Each structure stands twice: as C-alpha cells, then as structure tokens.
C-alpha cells in the first residue's frame, strides 16, 4: 500500500479480529490506522520491514463522530485517556479531558488524541457544520382515509418546533405551528419542517393523504407499471394515477380487468366487528403485498417473490374498521389471496360489509 497517497492509512471493518499489518517505511507515515470500538488492540499487530520505533498506540486514532442529535462521542480502545479541543488546536494533556458525550451545535473543528504515559496517539480531526434539526416524522404517512385521519408529527431534535402547510406551499415559521394534534378531513399534501434556535432548519418531510368514499364491497384502484424501471417492492401508489377504479365482491383481482404482468392494486373494504378480540389477517401473494387495518401495517409480504403467505395479528374493538391491501405483480406468475380469522370466525376470505 502507499500510505502517503491517502487520507487514512487503513480503515478496519467492524468486528475484525487477528489483524496483522506489514508496511514499508512506516516510520514516515503520519496517517493513522482508524478503528472503532468493536476492535480490540489485543487482536491487532503492526510491524514494518524497515526500522521503526512506532507502537500500535501511536498508529491508532480515536473514533470521533457527531450524531444526528448534535452529540459528539469519542472512543479509543481500552479506555485510554482522551483529550480534545473544539477550536481546531492540537490536543495536549492540558486540553479538555473527554468523559462523556457532549453537545456541539455550532460549526467548528474538533481534534482528539489519546495519551498514555509519554505516548500520544494519532490525532483525529472532525470538521463540523452547524447542526441541523432532524426532519419531522409523520405518523401515519402516505395514507388513504375515509372521513378523516388523525396525524402525529414528531421531531427527534429536542426543543424543535414543527410548522406545516396543507395547501402545497412551502412551510416556514409563519405557517401553522403543530401543537400536538392534527386531523385532516380532505385530500391534501402535508409539508412540514422543524425549527430550533441556533440550528439549521430541517429538511422537509412531505406526505400525501387521499380521501376515499365508503362503498359496498371492495373498492379497487388499478395501476400499471409502464416505465423501464421495474418494481422490486410496493411503489407509493399515492404518487401514481390509477388507470381504473371500481368495486368488486372480495379482496383480490377477480372481477378487475387487468393485464397479466406489471400491474398494481390498492383495495379498500370496511368490516364491522361485533365481537372484540384478537384477529389474524393473511396475505398470500406473488409478488409483493401489504395489509393495513385502520392505517396500521398488520401484514408485510413485500418484495419480488413466488407465492408466499404471511400473517399478522391485531386487537379490534367493536365497530367499523378500514382494511387496505396493496399488491403488485412484477413478471412471471401472479396470485393474491386475502384471509382473516378471529373470534367465532374460521380462516376465510374477507367479504366487506
């Protein structure tokens, strides 16, 4: 290898063991070996075929990183003492001693090194921009709904405020502020951003919600993939326009005019629960499928595959519940079965209403 030609002499994979390194003229190498906390120095041996007085300790550098919450963590094997600076200066034993993760929001350069007796490790350098607020999380996201749907907005950056729009405009601090509850009752695109003083504004989170009517039987939306890029998992059907819509008697593609390959379906039906308890839902499909009850994924049977049946359980109270099935076909054989069972109901196909 040519250590002088790269920024890092060697980067070892996590969980690496029994490592032996032999290099030419390592005495001239000022670029460190980088390891993380899964590697033990007892498993590492560094030697040179030329005269070199450097030790493993001097070749290693601390692992220095900042997470998405703005917390900086520094690690060096065997709990050696670590000293660091936050002004770009070279760390010495007179610098700040690392004891626990610390917050660093503003832009700066952090340097860290480990010390042992009269030895000093290679110096780790981390150049930081201003920390950014974590983008809002919308729960549930990208859903069909009947009448209305309640949403929850979350930012994992402590103290961040979330602002949103429903009219397609870009959210700013002048937009509607999320106060802990949000219910929408018509089709909309929800755009959100999170703000906190001294942080960069978050990236935008955009989600789509489409209202559906309550009709007898199973409502279907039929799609075809006419692009050159084949589906390898369920697409976001809310971003696509259906080629046809209508109603059928039960969940599946029987009764829907469709081609043999490269198509997709979104199916909706309402079930009336008269006996509360735990219910099991199944989808057997070739290729991918997913089943939701009241906007919550109960069965995930996604991806390109031959016929596979999967199931999931959910406790349902008395009353009406919305069942949704998403399905796509990606070439070859096709199949879609949807079943349920529960209190006083043997495993059978679902006939809504």
3-state helix, strand and coil shares in percent for the chain, rounded to the nearest 5:
5, 45, 50
Beta strands in 77-122 (DSSP E): 81-85, 96-97, 102-103, 108-116, 119-120
When pLDDT is averaged across residues 262-273 and rounded to a whole number, the result is: 97
Q: How far is CA 226 from the centre of its chain?
A: 28
Residues 44-60 have pLDDT tens digits of 554 444 344 556 677 78
Q: Using one digit for the tens of pLDDT, what is the confidence trace for 193-236?
A: 999 999 999 999 999 999 999 999 999 999 999 988 999 999 99
Of 39 and 338, which is predicted with more confidence?
338
pLDDT band at 29 (very low <50, low <70, confident <90, very high): very low
Counting every residue written for the chain, the total comes to 353
Res. 24: pLDDT tops 70: no
Is 1's pLDDT higher than 80?
Answer: no
For range 104-120, the mean pLDDT: 93
């Amino acid at each position: 290898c040519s250590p002088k030609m790269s920024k890092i002499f060697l980067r070892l994979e996590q969980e690496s063991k029994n490592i032996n390194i032999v290099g030419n003229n390592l005495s001239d190498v000022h670029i460190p070996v980088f390891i993380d906390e899964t590697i033990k120095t007892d498993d590492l041996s560094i030697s040179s075929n030329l005269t070199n007085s450097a030790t493993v300790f001097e070749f290693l550098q601390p692992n220095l990183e900042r997470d998405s919450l703005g917390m900086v963590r520094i690690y060096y094997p065997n709990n050696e003492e670590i000293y660091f600076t936050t002004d770009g200066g070279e760390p010495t034993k007179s610098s700040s001693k690392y004891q626990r993760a610390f917050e660093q929001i503003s832009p700066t350069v952090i340097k860290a090194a480990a010390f042992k007796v009269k030895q000093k490790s290679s110096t780790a350098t981390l150049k930081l921009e201003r920390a950014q607020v974590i983008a809002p999380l919308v729960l549930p996201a990208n859903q069909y709904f009947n009448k209305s749907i309640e949403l929850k907005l979350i930012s994992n950056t402590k103290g961040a405020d979330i602002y949103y729009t429903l009219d397609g405009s870009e959210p700013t601090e002048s937009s509607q502020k999320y106060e802990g509850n949000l219910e929408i009752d018509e089709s909309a695109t929800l755009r959100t951003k999170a703000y906190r003083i001294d942080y960069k504004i978050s990236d935008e989170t955009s989600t789509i919600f489409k209202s559906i009517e309550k009709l007898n039987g199973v409502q279907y939306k039929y799609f075809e993939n006419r692009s050159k890029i084949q589906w390898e998992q369920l697409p976001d059907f809310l971003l696509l326009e259906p080629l046809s819509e209508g109603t059928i008697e039960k969940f599946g593609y029987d009764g829907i005019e469709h081609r043999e390959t490269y198509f997709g379906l979104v199916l909706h039906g309402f079930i009336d629960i008269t006996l509360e308890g735990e219910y099991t839902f199944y989808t057997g499909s070739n290729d991918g499928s997913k089943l939701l009850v009241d906007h919550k994924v109960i069965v995930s049977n996604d991806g390109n595959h031959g016929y596979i049946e999967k199931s999931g359980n959910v406790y349902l109270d008395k009353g009406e519940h919305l069942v949704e099935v998403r399905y796509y076909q990606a070439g070859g054989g096709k199949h879609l079965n949807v079943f349920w069972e529960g209190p006083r109901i043997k495993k059978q196909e679902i006939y809504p209403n």
